[in-house]
Amino acid sequence: MPHTIQLHRVLQAPPERIYRAFTIAAALVKWMPPHGFVCEVQEMDARPGGHFRMAFINLSTGERSSFGGVYLELVPNTRIRNSDQFDDPGLPGSMITTVDLRAVACGTEIQIVQEGLPEMIPVESCYLGWQQSLHLLSLLVEADIPANLA
């Protein structure tokens, strides 16, 4: 049976900034790959029904893990829901990732659910990777850049 993971964070940034970090390729490559990896986006059409393709590249080995999917639902500043499939036939199946954003007094609450993870990927590894990625996301979106430097 495929795995499901759930994550929860509160970031000190408005929902629109976090939404942009998920839907702009130049922002995504800055925070999404876990430590030791870089991200290369080949395609990103952030609209319902639009496709994306990207790869995580291991800096130690040079190995590429390519994957892609479809944006199933995009509600600006509120929800991102997409499918994901690895190109590696050893990682079969399709995953669904849902990211819900909700404005709260101190910023934005983020709820992430990733369903259908292939059984051969340890759940703990997924949690670790997401924790590293979400830390990088916080550094990106919580930055307070003065208007005269923007």
| Domain 3-142: homologous superfamily in CATH | START domain (3.30.530.20)
Q: Name every residue whose Cβ is closer than 8 Å to that of residue 73 and which is 6 or more positions away in sequence.
A: 48, 79, 80, 81
pLDDT at 12: 97
Q: What phi and psi values does residue 25 have, to the nearest 5 degrees?
A: -55, -45
State the average pLDDT for the chain: 94
Q: Which of the four pLDDT bands, split at 50, 70 and 90, describes residue 134?
A: very high
Which residue reads 């500043």 in tokens?
77
Give pLDDT tens digits for 6-45. 999 999 999 999 999 999 999 999 999 999 999 999 999 9
Query: Any idea where the domains of the chain sit in the sequence?
Result: 3-142
pLDDT at 1: 53
Q: How much is the pTM? A: 0.93
